[in-house]
Amino acid sequence: MEAAVRIAARGRPDGLTGRALGEELGADRSAVWRHFADKDGLLLAVGDRLLVMASGRVAEGLGPRQRLEALARAVVDVFEAHPYVGAAIACRTTRGPGEFALVEMMLAALGELGLQSRDVARYQRMLADSVLAYAGMCAGYAVLPKQVQDADERAWVREYSNADPKRYPAIAALAPQLAATDDDMVLDTLLEAFWLAVDARARNTAIPTPSQGGRRA
Amino acid sequence: MEAAVRIAARGRPDGLTGRALGEELGADRSAVWRHFADKDGLLLAVGDRLLVMASGRVAEGLGPRQRLEALARAVVDVFEAHPYVGAAIACRTTRGPGEFALVEMMLAALGELGLQSRDVARYQRMLADSVLAYAGMCAGYAVLPKQVQDADERAWVREYSNADPKRYPAIAALAPQLAATDDDMVLDTLLEAFWLAVDARARNTAIPTPSQGGRRA
DNA sequence: ACCTGAACACCGTTCAAGT
DNA sequence: ACCTGAACACCGTTCAAGT
């Protein structure tokens, strides 16, 4: 497992293959499949380790909002730092301790923010899927060869600035704002929008009773 | 291109490989690379076609909110219906007419909803990335063998219901709500939260001046 | 119990040779 | 101009054979 995480952390060109794992451990590449049922089992195990690493990065003593922000950023960072596994595992349920820790942390934090329990479950699932999907997307991008990454990035600055104003008036009008984008902006905006939505939702459905799950008056 | 979309639509077990495309067209599999520079070029071209299909599904005459909802759902549906390509392309910039149509439609709709132009660009990028990432995640799930999908799905109902209440109190308390989840809930909740955030943002920064980009009084 | 080494079917990619 | 067919290096997976 440690060797697998090490290989996954090597980044772009290297995938986590049986051959690479065998070499790292000084064994034949087919020996890996004595310890994991198949490639899927290996990826699930390493993927859950990534989630353990991410939830372990959340500092103690933070408020619910900061805890969720730290967790979201940690998931994206860890997936980007282990891109091959991150891209492969974002759509899966690892069912391991890492996933449980992440879900538990999210549910507890959302409960503290004043949402009803039905909304806590819905918003947790939505936030978890959004963050995992976004992290998987970032990881998928990080796996690409550097020259492909550069071509994709340039497109946003160059090709969108030259869009035909007749066919694409909104793009042409907003080209400067579209080009002025840094890497963290998307996740920042996603979290900003999430807090606005949680606040609005908590305000609309708030029950002033101090006891939990207060009944209708 | 039509043959490639057809193969991509065959769904789960079939990937869009050179061999499959050659067979579909009655040609040798290596003949494909006369028409596309490499696998990446093929995927980008087919991926942009998926975006053309998605934006073409948005009905005429809808308001900005319904237009954006229709577009988001169409992207997820089309990616799920062409899962191999959807999963491969979600993290890319296709730079084709499909992507331009999608960005243009989103920017125009968000502008009509009362956001400042700086927020329009930020929220468009955030929504587009969120929807594409989520669609890519759904597509990645759809590519998996059916038995792996079933195992993942059962986990949410079964293993989360049996979580240890001492280690995972929030999961144990909310297990029924976590299990009661249908496929559309995540995207519905994401869009609900997006509207709450857009409304809050438009309210906070609204400038009553009818002219664009009004200066500070 | 664990590893080796060879085999298999499948990839993308390349290239000399055809038409 | 376009296709063929063979080759190459790389996958995951399997299995008889070793220790």
- CB–CB of B186/A129 below 8 Å? yes
DSSP label of B165: T
Q: What is the mean pLDDT of residues B88-92?
A: 96
pLDDT confidence of residue B141: 96
The dihedral formed by the CA atoms of A136, B201, A120 and B71, expressed in degrees to the nearest 10? -50
Exposure class string for A179-213: b at 16+ Cβ within 10 A, else e: eeeeeeebbebbbbbbbbbbebbeeeeeeeeeeee
Q: Give the closest of A111, A168, A181 to B170, CB-based.
A: A111
B169-181: burial string, b at 16+ Cβ within 10 Å, e else: ebbbbbbebbeee
Cross-chain residue pair A193–B189, CB shorter than 8 Å? no
A38: contact with B, CB 8 A cutoff: no
pLDDT at A210 over 60: no
Say if the Cβ atoms of A91 and B137 lie within 8 Å.
Answer: yes
> How far is CA A158 from each of CA A154, A176, B70, rounded to the nearest angstrom?
6, 10, 29
As a whole number, mean pLDDT of residues A10-34 equals 89
Span B76-99, mean pLDDT?
96
Q: pLDDT digits over B172-192, tens only?
A: 999 998 888 788 999 999 999
| Cβ neighbours of B96 in A, within 8 Å | none
Q: Which tokens is B78 given?
A: 């089309």
Strand C positions closer than 7 A to protein CB: 2-7, 10-15
Which sign, positive or negative, has the C-alpha torsion B63, B66, B72, B77?
negative
- For chain B, give the mean pLDDT: 91
More confident residue, B208 or A56: A56
Answer yes or no: is pLDDT of A204 > 90: no
Among A97, A83, A4, CA closest to A42: A4
pLDDT of residue B213: 40
Least confident span in A45-54, A70-79, A123-132, A148-157: A148-157
The answer to whether residue B208 scores a pLDDT higher than 70 is: no
Q: Answer for the pair A187, A73: CB distance below 8 angstroms, yes or no.
A: yes
Which of the residues B76, B95, B167 would you substitute to probe the A interface, choosing the one with the greatest number of A C-beta atoms within 10 Å?
Answer: B95
Q: What is the mean pLDDT of residues B31-35?
A: 92
Task: Please name the residues in contact with A47: beta carbons below 8 A apart, sequence gap of 6 or more.
Answer: A85, A86, A88, A89, A92, A94, A98
pLDDT of residue A206: 61
| A9: amino acid identity, one letter | A
Chain A residues within 8 A of B144 when measuring between CB atoms: 91-92
pLDDT at A212: 43
Mean pLDDT of the region A110-137: 96
Q: Which residues are within 7 Å of strand D by their Cβ atom? A: A 15-20, 29-30, 33, 38-40; B 22, 27-28, 30-31, 34-35
**Nearest nucleotide relative to B32: CA against C1':** D3
Lowest mean pLDDT across A11-20, A23-32, B41-50: A11-20
Q: Using CA atoms, how far apart are residues B124 and B106, in angstroms rounded to an integer?
A: 6
User: CA-nearest residue of chain B to A142?
Assistant: B91
What whole-number distance in Å separates Cα of residue B77 and Cα of residue B183? 12
How many CB contacts within 8 angstroms connect chain A with chain B?
184
Rounded-to-integer distance, Cα B110 and Cα A84, Å: 35
Encode A138-185 in three state secondary structure.
Answer: HHHHHHCCHHHHHHHHHHHHHCCCCCCCCCCHHHHHHHHHHHCCCCCH
Residue B216, both tokens: 């500070």
Give the model's pLDDT for residue A159: 86
Q: How far is the CA of A30 from the C1' of C8 (A)?
A: 14
Q: Which two tokens stand for residue A147?
A: 């020259």
- The pTM assigned to this predicted structure is 0.92
pLDDT digits (tens, 9 = 90+) for A140-190: 999 999 989 998 888 777 888 899 999 999 999 999 998 887 889 999 999
d(CA B155, CA B134): 20
**What pLDDT is stored for residue A214 in this prediction?**
38
Q: Which residues of chain B does A132 touch, with a Cβ-Cβ cutoff of 8 Å?
A: 137
Chain B contact for A137 (CB, 8 A cutoff): yes
Token pair of A80 as six digits: 């980007």
Quote the tokens at residue A60.
């103690």
Q: Could you report how far apart the first and last alpha carbons of chain A are, in Å?
A: 55
Of B108, B117, B134, the CB nearest to A133: B134
pLDDT level of residue B214 (50, 70, 90 thresholds): very low
Q: Are B11 and B83 in contact (CB under 8 A)?
A: yes
Nucleotide nearest to A17 (CA to C1'): D11
Evaluated on CA atoms A21, A25, A30, A32, the torsion sign reads negative
pLDDT at B62: 96
User: Cβ of residue B19 near strand C, that is under 7 Å?
Assistant: yes
Nearest CA in chain B to A106: B170
Residues 46 through 105 of chain A touching chain B, CB cutoff 8 Å: 87, 90-93, 95, 100, 103-104
Task: Report chain A's mean pLDDT, rounded to a whole number.
Answer: 91
pLDDT of residue B160: 87
